Structure 1
Amino acid sequence: MQRFVGFSAQTPADYAGSAPALDIRRHLNGPILCEGVIYGPTGRVTSRFVADMHGHWQGNRGTLDEAFRYAGGNTQDRQWRLVLGNDGRIIAEADDLVGTGTGQQEGAALRLRYTIRLPEHAGGWSLNVTDWMYLTENGTIINRSQFRKFGIKVAELVATMRRVEA
């Protein structure tokens, strides 16, 4: 049933023609402030974070550096390496991914799927992730991600990403 309704039922084509159009080379470029929460399997907030991000693009190749500060005091630095195809397809790499992530931007939305390996202090599990990003009229991106193990949702993330003046 989940294949036909809910979070997993969305496809990038559902957002074709929606405006404003999301272009990661523009909207994930320069300094970005990200604020979010992570929900555990029971639906309760298990973590809160703020991240300073910085995107840099040369043509269709870009990097997105992320510096997370979690409410409990932990920090985490990550870097995405992204390639945007002329058809809106995205290839994504990061050091904590298992393999390569793939995505598609279409209209005001973007879907990215990948497998992430959690650090050992967080269990070391490999989780299948689906990220959906939605561009709002004021330029804010709303990010909703689901993390699954053996097909079962074990966490969900909701965050905002807003460009900040350098």
Structure 2
Amino acid sequence: MNRRSLVAALAAGVLALGCASAPVPTDYAAEKPVLALEKYFDGELVAHGLFTDRGGKVVRRFTVLMKCSWTGDDGVLDEDFTYSDGKKERRIWRLKKLRGPGNEGRYTGTADDVVGTAQGQASGNAFRWAYTLRLPVDGSVYEVQFDDWMYLVDERVMLNKAVMSKFGIRLGEVTLAFTKKP
């Protein structure tokens, strides 16, 4: 291969990598099992997770006990967090399944420490959840954005990976494994 052909091939490869788009929920439309939040988040669940900083170092580990229920299109996820340092927190999500044309698989949610309304979309086995959280750190409170992805593995197990950022700068990741109690 001559030098000109090699340069052209490398440039095409770099261009192709640069054009790769970020995933969207509909990329997972054919994946099974299908995730319906109102079915999975109904009853009791336990989740084990960790927070890693932007360098990948585990900064915090935690367990979440969840009691979840739905009445029609309205869901409540009552989460009790216990961190490895003994600190405890509670978050209660109030979810709403949206109906009507253009709202297939869409949900909204609120919680006391969430700024405004979270927006989510389910498709296939995946759910993407975007929201801003008020995060207390060393006596101050910061508003950070979450790009939160959940993937249903089977009827009992779901994996969750969320990227936390501020001003578009990645601060770290939260990784969780949910298990639905039988």
- So what's the TM-score if we normalise by structure 1? 0.92
1:120 Cα offset (Å): 5.1
Q: Is the 8 A contact 2:40 2:155 kept in 1?
A: no
Distance 2:113 2:132 in 1: 9
The equivalent residue for 2:85 is: 72
The equivalent residue for 1:34 is: 47
Q: Is the 8 A contact 2:33 2:155 kept in 1?
A: no
Determine what percentage of the aligned residue pairs are the same residue: 35
Structure 1 stretches lacking a partner, 5+ long? none
Structure showing the higher helix proportion among its residues: 2
Distance 1:61 1:73 in 2: 32
The equivalent residue for 1:159 is: 176
Over 3 Å counting, the alpha-carbon distance change for 1:90 and 1:3 in structure 2 is: farther
Q: Post-superposition, which runs of at least 4 consecutive aligned residues in structure 1 deviate over 4 A? A: none
1:146 aligns with 2:159: no
Distance 1:141 1:154 in 2: 24
Amino acid at match of 1:76: E
SS of match in other structure, 2:39: helix
Q: Is the 8 A contact 2:157 2:179 kept in 1?
A: yes
Over 3 Å counting, the alpha-carbon distance change for 1:143 and 1:3 in structure 2 is: farther
Over 3 Å counting, the alpha-carbon distance change for 1:147 and 1:164 in structure 2 is: same
Query: What is the total number of aligned residue pairs between the two structures?
Result: 162
Distance 1:143 1:102 in 2: 16
User: Radius of gyration: which is bigger?
Assistant: 2
Over 3 Å counting, the alpha-carbon distance change for 1:2 and 1:119 in structure 2 is: farther
Structure 2 stretches lacking a partner, 5+ long? 1-16
SS of match in other structure, 1:130: strand
Q: Is the 8 A contact 2:156 2:181 kept in 1?
A: no
1:52 aligns with 2:65: yes
Amino acid at match of 1:140: V
- So what's the TM-score if we normalise by structure 2? 0.84
Distance 2:61 2:18 in 1: 28
1:138 Cα offset (Å): 4.7
The equivalent residue for 1:90 is: 107
Q: How does 1:77-156 map to 2 (within 5 A)?
A: 77-86=90-99, 87-119=104-136, 121=138, 123-156=140-173
Distance 2:28 2:175 in 1: 19
SS of match in other structure, 2:114: coil
Distance 1:146 1:2 in 2: 21
Q: Is the 8 A contact 2:109 2:117 kept in 1?
A: yes
Distance 1:82 1:120 in 2: 26
SS of match in other structure, 1:13: helix
| Per-residue deviation, residues 106-161 of structure 1 (Å, max 9, x unmatched) | 00000000000112546411001011000003530100000001111101011011
Distance 2:138 2:19 in 1: 33
Amino acid at match of 2:119: T
